[in-house]
Structure 1
Amino acid sequence: MRMRELAAVMAGVSFGMAVLPNMTAFAADNNIDYRRKVVGIAGIMNNTSTGLNDPVTRAEFANMLVKASTYRDFLPTTSSVSVYADVPATAQYASSIRIAAEQNWVTGYLGGLYKPEQSITLQEAARGILALLGYTSEDFGSSLSSARMAKFYALELNENLDRQPNEVLNRSDCINLFYNLLKTDSKTTGKAYATVLGCELNSDGEVNPLGLADTNLKGPKLVTKGSQIGNYVPFNVQEASIFVNGDASSYEALKSYVSSSYVVIYYNQTAKTIWAYIADEDVQSGRCAVRGTVENIYYSSSDVMTPTSITLDDGQEYKLSSSEMQFAFSVYGSIRVGDRVTLICEKSENSNGDATYTVVDYVED
């Protein structure tokens, strides 16, 4: 993976210093914002920023289980069979329910029903989470339910999860539950479950998702005004986890931005995650996209081979601080005066409101 793409992701998910190994355990343990971003980047839940108090259905939870497993790479958009009488093959989560049932992560009810719209309880969710960790019915003897819950608590999978076994879970509960899953050692591998999805733990035992973000990242891609976002990524955008300028967002919000202006995106096909950056005029600070024609490339007086900044036809100066950006705009690179480019920049403002831009990536038009 190119270093400029990694740099874009590292700052783009707005973790800042929080993702570095010296982040305190307290911050992750008590910060739902951090946890929801980790779960979102891992591709387990879509749109982790809204509806946190909404109950999660059994159908939705089956989908989360599959997305938290290696089966995520083989999850078809439609199912060819109906496993339960009340889950037709055309149902939204039919494929996920079929996979989860076949793997014994979920069970149905008497009469061949799954009750997909019924809210998931902690006890039901614990079964699926423990199954992902490699535990089977044989591990719990004759008293399955109580033994499962005892193991669930022993593994501290209930961290930040104040629910009784028969209580239903909301989206916030599921964020905590799947974050706890990622931190817990798998019975099968003996390593943190996060490694299954390409993540790793930092020195404080919390999840550092940058490994996943760096895996098979594609981009940047320029999505022009009025375009169909689905034409730029090889998966269903409406089912993706979406971040706009580092904050968890939604398909509708991204669609709205594209309808009025251009957007630059990166995506991870495995995690079905999109990182989008919107036009400069809509951003006060942080990452933004700027589009224009290169008018000047400036060099320092002490090093005439290494460019220090450029200007576009908007008259604004854009600093080149990384060696890769300096190379791209140097005589050895591919960008020349007169070329049209889209820049991904780090924007900051001083107390007078004057903006400074540093280029971290680019797209050649």
Structure 2
Amino acid sequence: MKKRFLALLLSVCIGVSMLVLPASAAGSNTAVQTAVTLGAFSTEEAAGLSTPLTRGQLAKLLVAFSAYHDNANTQGSIGTLYTDVNGSSAYAPYIRIAVQQGWMSGYTDGSFRPNQTVTLEEACTAALTLLGYDVTTLTGGFPAAQLNKANAIGLRANLSRTQGQAMTMEDGAILLYNALTANTASGSVYGTTLGFTVTNGQVDVSSILLSNLEGPFVASEGESLPFEPEAVYCNDSVSTNAQLSAYDVYYYNASAKTVWVYTRKAAGRITAVSPSASAPTSVTVAGTSYTIASSSAAAQLSSLNGGGVGQVVTLLLGMNNEAVAVLTGDAADEVFYGVVQTATRSLVEENGADVQQKVEVKCTDGITRTVSVAKDLNYPAGWMVKITVNADGEQVDAIGKKGTSGTINADGTALGETALADGVEILDTTSEGVAGTVSPSRLSGVTLSDADVRYYTTNENGQIDRLILNDVTGDLWTYGVLDDVKNLINNVTSSSSTTSTGTTTGTTTSTSSSTDAASIAGDVAEIVLPSTGDLLWGLVDGSIGSSVWESVTGSTDKLASYLLKLGAANTSGGLSTVLNYLGSGADYVCYVNGKQTTYKTSTKYPVLAGGIAVGISTSGKVKSMRQLMPAVIDKVGAASVMSGGKKYETADDMQVYLWYKGTYYPTTLSQVNGEDYTLIGWFDNDGRAAGSKIRVLIAVRKN
């Protein structure tokens, strides 16, 4: 678990220009992530946060959160520091700096006692000294004066320790993280003195990490890293393998002892370069444009050296999918797997009029590749295919199902008894071709059946290196909240009433069937489609329990039984009205990601109110709608909620709305709580192996 959130932090650092860490969120995760980023914790230390904080570890924390964080590696072994700290000690360079700067001191007997546990007042005193405070001039005596000052400037925020209590590794990270947003003795925000950008209590940590980044480098066969890393990330996911393979692109931060390795490649025929053929800064391969990140790659792709449009190449991709190097000839041979997104035919007039077909394929590495194929072949959206690239060009071939089963282990490193390769590529897909990449950690603890796995491949070591899944996560659906559907039924009722007198049979005007139609439409409105308000308040006050909701939302059976009753009563007019209602389309007005959206469909779907899931094809058409299930929430956690003793995980992109008098107002989870609001979570309940997450949360104010 710890490794997964560390991977998230460092991959975000690479993927965006600024990583912002809120001071208000300086709980364990954010503080520990920052400590690892700055080199204060190794991944092993981050996995043991409850262990006591020692004086040696405190010295390392102080240095990492200081202007000297890059100096420790240049200290070397300079004799014995203290009787119990020799020059070869792992903490020696940090202790030397901490003592030289006056943040800590040794004991009169010549010892430093690096393994001695640190108390709250000792850690606060060191942090205050780091910020430039003269602790001898504070009002009051030790330790009350130091503890009061630390509290006043925010150093003790989110710390539950009291005087005399021992600090843990986690506590130490929180204390030093709080120091970044605290004022120094001279009145400056401490983080800004280190080069961080601190805005409204938010700290940009990634700037320090990236400023010391070296690379990109392209590994040759048998190449080794220049140091033993403490953290390795392969394609932005945590890895335990620090070995490099030929053509890997890698970067490193020596002070943080962190390495990023990328194995991603783009292969195919070059169709465009820009801004000019002789001096390109970007290149288009297989329909995707890539920024050229090195002068050597630009030179190789330049027309001055025989490169450019028409050439079959493999691009070695680094951070942000930028092209770092170019392979040609046999070295450019590659194979990709994925699912068809779209297939389009268009007119070309290069050598007379003809039709050209292009197929877009979402591949397991997350890249959508566009390949020209024979115009007479059919590639329906959702088909699994293999793209082969060699010196002759590109070829697309359909592949059949190749399933497997098992449970993804807690670390996301194995499926059943088969190991997952470092940098394993996982693609979740729908039958319509909608697809998205999935991290192994997203599937931690999930049991996959043979039906859940559409295809997989293994590398030379027998490890699974690609997985194509069958709508396992539910993340490919669009989620939102549905506005009042009852109005649609009311429109049917109104329409039936106003047109009834104009219906004739032979020479006699008949109004009975149309009257029945209006009545039946009203019945359907009340029985099948209650209003949003009715449903929400029913959930709030308990009048609608889970079993009732299950019955109502099982609307296929509900409608079927109701129609049978209508048929038995021979109310043909009413039956016709209901069937017409069910068979015709509707406009579904929803809120999706905080914005009002209308879905126009040719079919009515069994959705009532509250949270819904919308299945949308790659062409943008609504293919299906499903009702999410409600759960009245008792307690909200960091990434989960509790409802009636049952735990539900929350989706990373969970939407939160305040509902008031029939209107949804988008808000955030931090603005609502279980004391002042009734919280109703809506989760997908379609039996997906990695589904059943709270996708939407609706808050109703209690007063």
Relative to the length of structure 1, the TM-score reads 0.69
**Could you report, residue by residue, the CA deviation over 1:302-354 in whole angstroms, capped at 9, with x for unpaired residues?**
999686621xxxxxx472255879x948647999446665212668x889874
**Could you report, residue by residue, the CA deviation over 1:122-170 in whole angstroms, capped at 9, with x for unpaired residues?**
2221121111100123332561322111111111111222112322222
Distance, in Å, in 2 between the alignment partners of 1:69 and 1:334 is: 49
Q: Which residue of 1 aligns with 2:130?
A: 132
1:1-365 correspondence runs (5 A): 12-13=11-12, 28-30=25-27, 32-47=28-43, 49-75=46-72, 76-140=74-138, 143-188=141-186, 190-202=187-199, 204-224=200-220, 226-230=222-226, 236-238=227-229, 243-246=233-236, 253-255=240-242, 257-258=243-244, 263-269=248-254, 271-279=255-263, 289-290=264-265, 295-299=268-272, 309-310=284-285, 317=286, 319-320=288-289, 328=298, 331=302, 336=307, 337=311, 341-344=315-318, 354-355=363-364, 356-357=366-367
Secondary structure in 2 matching 1:37: helix
- What is the aligned-residue identity percentage? 25
Secondary structure in 2 matching 1:191: coil
Q: CA deviation at 1:49?
A: 4.3
**Structure 1 unpaired stretches of 5+:** 1-8, 231-235, 280-288, 311-316, 360-365
Q: CA deviation at 1:119?
A: 2.0
Distance, in Å, in 2 between the alignment partners of 1:12 and 1:335 is: 36
Distance, in Å, in 2 between the alignment partners of 1:11 and 1:321 is: 22
Q: CA deviation at 1:176?
A: 1.3
Kept in 2: contact 1:192–1:200 (CA 8 A): no
Distance, in Å, in 2 between the alignment partners of 1:153 and 1:297 is: 61
Q: CA deviation at 1:51?
A: 1.9
Q: How has the CA–CA distance of structure 1 residues 49 and 83 changed in structure 2, closer, same or farther, with 3 Å as cutoff? A: closer
Higher relative contact order at CA 8 Å, sep ≥6: structure 1 or structure 2?
Answer: 1
Distance, in Å, in 2 between the alignment partners of 1:123 and 1:295 is: 63
Secondary structure in 2 matching 1:178: helix
Distance, in Å, in 1 between the alignment partners of 2:11 and 2:215 is: 13
Kept in 2: contact 1:62–1:96 (CA 8 A): yes
**Could you report, residue by residue, the CA deviation over 1:37-61 in whole angstroms, capped at 9, with x for unpaired residues?**
3332233333364222232221121
Distance, in Å, in 1 between the alignment partners of 2:318 and 2:368 is: 8
Distance, in Å, in 1 between the alignment partners of 2:31 and 2:368 is: 29
Q: How has the CA–CA distance of structure 1 residues 303 and 207 changed in structure 2, closer, same or farther, with 3 Å as cutoff? A: closer
Structure with the higher fraction of residues in strand conformation? 2
Q: CA deviation at 1:261?
A: 7.0
**Could you report, residue by residue, the CA deviation over 1:209-243 in whole angstroms, capped at 9, with x for unpaired residues?**
1322342432112344643212xxxxx545x6655
Secondary structure in 2 matching 1:211: helix
Distance, in Å, in 2 between the alignment partners of 1:49 and 1:91 is: 20
Distance, in Å, in 2 between the alignment partners of 1:242 and 1:130 is: 34
Distance, in Å, in 2 between the alignment partners of 1:173 and 1:209 is: 19
Relative to the length of structure 2, the TM-score reads 0.39
**Structure 2 unpaired stretches of 5+:** 1-7, 322-337, 342-361, 370-703
Q: How has the CA–CA distance of structure 1 residues 222 and 56 changed in structure 2, closer, same or farther, with 3 Å as cutoff? A: farther
Q: How has the CA–CA distance of structure 1 residues 174 and 101 changed in structure 2, closer, same or farther, with 3 Å as cutoff? A: same
Secondary structure in 2 matching 1:168: coil
Secondary structure in 2 matching 1:276: strand
Secondary structure in 2 matching 1:56: coil
Distance, in Å, in 2 between the alignment partners of 1:262 and 1:164 is: 54
Kept in 1: contact 2:283–2:292 (CA 8 A): no
Structure with the higher fraction of residues in helix conformation? 1
Distance, in Å, in 2 between the alignment partners of 1:181 and 1:244 is: 32
Kept in 1: contact 2:247–2:316 (CA 8 A): no
Distance, in Å, in 2 between the alignment partners of 1:195 and 1:242 is: 29
Secondary structure in 2 matching 1:71: coil
Secondary structure in 2 matching 1:95: helix
> Over aligned residue pairs, what C-alpha RMSD do you find?
4.1
Secondary structure in 2 matching 1:198: coil
Letter in 2 for 1:114: F
Kept in 2: contact 1:345–1:358 (CA 8 A): no
Q: How has the CA–CA distance of structure 1 residues 157 and 332 changed in structure 2, closer, same or farther, with 3 Å as cutoff? A: farther
Q: CA deviation at 1:99?
A: 2.3
Distance, in Å, in 2 between the alignment partners of 1:134 and 1:333 is: 59
Kept in 1: contact 2:15–2:320 (CA 8 A): no
Distance, in Å, in 2 between the alignment partners of 1:254 and 1:163 is: 38
Distance, in Å, in 2 between the alignment partners of 1:332 and 1:105 is: 60
Q: CA deviation at 1:80?
A: 1.8
Letter in 1 for 2:150: F
Kept in 2: contact 1:345–1:357 (CA 8 A): no
Secondary structure in 1 matching 2:76: coil
Secondary structure in 1 matching 2:117: coil
Distance, in Å, in 1 between the alignment partners of 2:94 and 2:288 is: 47
Structure (1 or 2) with the larger CA radius of gyration: 2
Letter in 2 for 1:185: N
Kept in 2: contact 1:220–1:266 (CA 8 A): yes
